[in-house]
Amino acid sequence: LIAMPDEYSAGRAFFAGLAATARSVFAYVLFGTFLGYGALCHDLSFSLTWGLVSSVLVWAGPAQVIVASSLGSGMSLVQAAIAVSLSGVRLLPMVVALLPMLKTERTRTWHLLLPAHFTAASFWNESLRLAPGVPRHRRIAFCNGLGVGFFVPTLGATVIGYLAAATFPPILAAALLFLTPMSFLVSTARNSRQWVDKLALALGLVLAPLFSYWKLQLDLLFAGLLAGTIAYAAHRLRDRSA
């Protein structure tokens, strides 16, 4: 991955993270996705500044689409907040899975707040992939660089999408919205090196639509908990018999 000498400053690690985003497929995926998001903000009559502030504060594609479309359609604030919170539950296990890889004995809790804020599918996948190649005591700086770097295509595309919204044909808008599920699927598959992760991915793809078809409350959360737990149980059983 990335070979680095150990007398490596935090500033250099930060810039290495920043530079890594230019080689990440997610920089392009985010650019496309946020062209679509900028256009959505325009069509729902939000200001461009609101669109940019929402990207910095929320920083999670599916949640932002819910916020803009529910507020823009006049949905009640309580209902909208519940919908956003449900889409955000996935961030908890992501943060819990990533942070132990970044910290040392001397890491203070507040040092981890920024990498936690950056955690979303793109950042999570790239951090899990790249951080093991960075000296442990510089991983937080590296990941902060990665997170800040991802804001460049995101905010740039939000501006372009907002200004060009009126010229977008429907097929382009559809293709931009399709970037999120397509890139989430292949990047998660790439990061699923272990058998247990592959099984969790496959089970989640099957169980979530079933739970939602059966109209279960909190379907995404429970389908994920069940699929992940079955995958883990299968992994334990396999380990024991091996």
Partner 1 sequence: MNATMRDIGPYFALVLVGFLPNEIWRVLGVFVARGIDEKSEILVWVRAVATAVLAGIIAQLTLTPPGALAGVALQVRLGAIVAGFVGYLLIRRSVFAGVLCGELALILGAYLAP
Residues 101-160 that bind partner 1 (CB under 8 A): 101, 109, 112-113, 116-117, 119, 121, 124
Phi, psi of 129 (to 5 degrees): -80, -45
Query: Is residue 216 a contact point for partner 1 (CB under 8 A)?
Result: no
Give the footprint of partner 1 on residues 68-97 (CB under 8 A). Answer: 69-71, 74-78, 80-82, 84-85, 87-97
Query: Is residue 202 a contact point for partner 1 (CB under 8 A)?
Result: yes
> Which one of the spans 9-17, 142-150, 159-167, 195-203 is the region binding partner 1 (CB under 8 A)?
195-203
The contact pattern for partner 1, residues 159-178, with x = CB under 8 A and - = no contact, is -----------xx-xxx-xx
> Which one of the spans 6-14, 145-153, 159-167, 187-195 is the region binding partner 1 (CB under 8 A)?
187-195
Residue with tokens 């991915």: 201
The span from the CA of 242 to the CA of 240, in Å, is 6
The span from the CA of 228 to the CA of 23, in Å, is 31
Query: Is residue 231 a contact point for partner 1 (CB under 8 A)?
Result: yes
Length of the chain: 242
Cβ at position 83, least distance to partner 1 in Å: 9
> 61: helix, coil or strand?
helix
Cβ at position 13, least distance to partner 1 in Å: 18
DSSP-derived letter for residue 7 is: S
Give the residue among 232, 22, 26, 234 at the shortest CA–CA distance from 121: 26
Give the footprint of partner 1 on residues 35-54 (CB under 8 A). Answer: 36, 40, 46-47, 50, 53-54
The span from the CA of 65 to the CA of 57, in Å, is 13
Cβ at position 138, least distance to partner 1 in Å: 16
The span from the CA of 150 to the CA of 147, in Å, is 5
Phi, psi of 192 (to 5 degrees): -85, 80
The span from the CA of 31 to the CA of 153, in Å, is 5
Give the residue among 67, 72, 10, 40 at the shortest CA–CA distance from 166: 40
Contacts of 83 (CB under 8 A, 6+ apart): 66, 70
Q: Which is nearer to partner 1, 15 or 225 (CB)?
A: 225
**60, 134, 141, 146: which one contacts partner 1 (CB under 8 A)?**
60
Cβ at position 210, least distance to partner 1 in Å: 9
**28, 152, 156, 164: which one contacts partner 1 (CB under 8 A)?**
28
Cβ at position 50, least distance to partner 1 in Å: 5
